[in-house]
Amino acid sequence: MRRGIFIFAVVFCGVIFAIFAHAQQPGKIFRIGLLDPSDARSSAVRFEPFWQEIRRLGWIEGKNLAIEYRFAEEKSDRQPGIAEDLVRLKVDVIVCASTSAALAAKKATTTIPIVMANTADPVGAGLVASLSRPGGNVTGMSGLSVELNTKRLEVLKDVIPKLTRVGIPRYTSSAAAISDELQMKAVRAAAVTLKLKLEEIITKLDSEALDSAFQSLKEKQVEALLPVSRPLFGVRKHFVELANKYRLPAIYGQKGYIDEGGLMYYGVDSADNYRRAAVYVDKILKGTKPGELPIQQATKFEFVVNLKAAKQIGLTIPVRVLERANQVIK
């Protein structure tokens, strides 16, 4: 009897020791590769909701997570190379901040999971087969950029009922070419419906080129602006200054323009999209295949009007438009 108890105690202690020893062993450190066409400063602002959610889900850098940051610094030709670099590092998942980044990542790998934090039209861009069943190694969030540019055009018409001519500055960036064309196809169709003439102008991403572009748009007698391409983070302020200088009402697809004194912003609640992208990363790191996760479309939207900017260019925003805004800056 005593011998039996002794053997049981020894076995029991051995099991407890093994469990304890296993618990003390460091677990695997997963690696996230972040592929962003912009720079570290811009990325830090946009991705903060993503990292907050990652931490809330229990992922801690240095403990069970390592992060490989790669920024293209708005140089489109760098994206394929840095995507391949992340593949060589054998990261567990690649998170992409744009359509162009996702395309570069998909070209670099067919096996490493890719999560899009924001993309215009993943089906139209050839990233996935369908929204409900993406298949392959790509999934994530759709920012509905194509549809929202049509809505922004409608808002401009509501603000300026007699609007007839809208200027669209576009940027010479091959990385954004596919996304831009998808968006412009929808904008051109909407312009026909709204009886608006579009004046498209291609420009480089520097102050001197923008100055020339705005001068050309003014000569073409445009009455408002709809920027479609995602511009360089560093020229936002200058873009807004030029819009104010030429007294051209503009509606933007990036909320950062409002911080620089821009007139109007209409778009998705990007923070919500980035948080949901983090949830997908969590699922993938825990074993879910990306092809089994449907593409999620944006569900929360924001409309911001800056009355200070309106006053600066001598524009009166109709009350019916202000009533639709989530935020009015006075």
Q: Kindly give the pairing relationship between strand 264-268 and strand 138-142.
A: unpaired
* Adjacency order of strands within the sheet including 301-306: 251-252, 264-268, 301-306, 327-329
Same topology between domain 30-143+270-299 and domain 145-268+302-329 = yes
pLDDT of the residue at 134: 92
Spatial separation of the C-alpha atoms in residues 190 and 306, rounded to whole Å:
25
Please, are residues 240 and 181 in contact by the beta-carbon 8 Å criterion? no
Q: Kindly give the pairing relationship between strand 301-306 and strand 165-171.
A: unpaired
Name the pTM for this structure.
Answer: 0.79
Per-residue pLDDT of the chain (330 residues; tens, 9 = 90+): 445 444 444 444 444 444 443 333 458 899 999 999 888 988 898 899 999 999 999 999 999 999 999 999 877 789 999 999 999 999 999 999 888 899 999 999 999 999 999 887 888 888 999 999 998 999 999 877 667 888 999 999 999 999 999 999 887 554 455 566 777 888 898 999 999 999 988 887 677 888 999 999 999 999 999 988 665 556 788 899 999 999 999 999 888 899 899 999 999 888 999 999 999 999 999 999 999 999 998 888 999 999 999 999 999 999 999 999 999 999
- The pair of structure tokens assigned to 210 is 């923008």
Q: How far is CA 221 from CA 167, 241, 243, in A?
A: 9, 18, 13
Domain ranges of the chain: 30-143+270-299, 145-268+302-329
pLDDT of the residue at 268: 87
Spatial separation of the C-alpha atoms in residues 251 and 50, rounded to whole Å:
26
Domain spanning 145-268+302-329, CATH architecture: 3-Layer(aba) Sandwich (3.40)
Q: Kindly give the pairing relationship between strand 65-71 and strand 165-171.
A: unpaired
pLDDT of the residue at 173: 55
Spatial separation of the C-alpha atoms in residues 251 and 268, rounded to whole Å:
14
Domain spanning 30-143+270-299, CATH architecture: 3-Layer(aba) Sandwich (3.40)
Please, are residues 295 and 139 in contact by the beta-carbon 8 Å criterion? yes
Q: How many CB atoms lie within 10 A of CB 188?
A: 14
Spatial separation of the C-alpha atoms in residues 166 and 249, rounded to whole Å:
10
Spatial separation of the C-alpha atoms in residues 52 and 31, rounded to whole Å:
17
